[in-house]
Amino acid sequence: MSHANAALTPRQRLRVARLVVDHGWPVSRAAEQFNCSWPTAKRWAARYAAMGEAGMADRSSRPYRVANRTPQQLVRKVVHLRWKQRLGPVAIGAKLAMPASTVHAVLVRCRLNRLHHVDKRTGEVIRRYEHVTPGAMIHVD
C-alpha cells in the first residue's frame, strides 16, 4: 500500500507505463511528465509489459530466503535447553557458543521467548481457573 505522499500510486504507475508501452512515448518524456526519474518510469513500463495491470501493485520488500539462517540442528538444541532447563538467551548462548541475540531470535521464531504459561519450578503447564463470580470454587464440608 502506497503512502499518502507517494509520487506514483498504482494508478499513476499504470498511466506512466501505458504512455511508454502502448502509446510509444520516450521513457524520459513520460518520466518528466509524471515528475519521476527515468529509471523509475522504465521499471514500471517493463513491469507493465511483462505482467500487465497486476504488475503495478505494491510488492513486499521481505526477502525470499535468508542465506545465513540458523541451522535446524542448532535450533533444536536451543529449544531443548529452553524447555528442559528453562534457561534464558544469555545462558543458552554461552552453552552453545552463539550470540544471545541469535538465541533470542530463534526463541521468538519458535514462540518460546516467554515462558509465562510454564511453571518455573516444575516445568508443567500452568492451569488457571477463572470463574464469573469471586468465590465460586469454594467447597465447604
What's the pLDDT tens digit per position in 36-65?
Answer: 899 999 999 999 999 999 988 888 888 888
What's the pLDDT tens digit per position in 72-131?
Answer: 999 999 999 988 888 899 999 999 999 999 999 999 998 888 877 777 677 677 777 777
Instruction: Give pairs for 48-55: CB < 8 Å, separation 24+.
Output: 48/13, 48/14, 48/17, 48/18, 48/20, 48/21, 49/17, 49/21, 53/14, 55/17
Mean pLDDT of the residues in the chain: 87
Residue 2: per-residue pLDDT: 63
Measured in Å, how far apart are the chain's first and last C-alpha atoms? Answer: 64
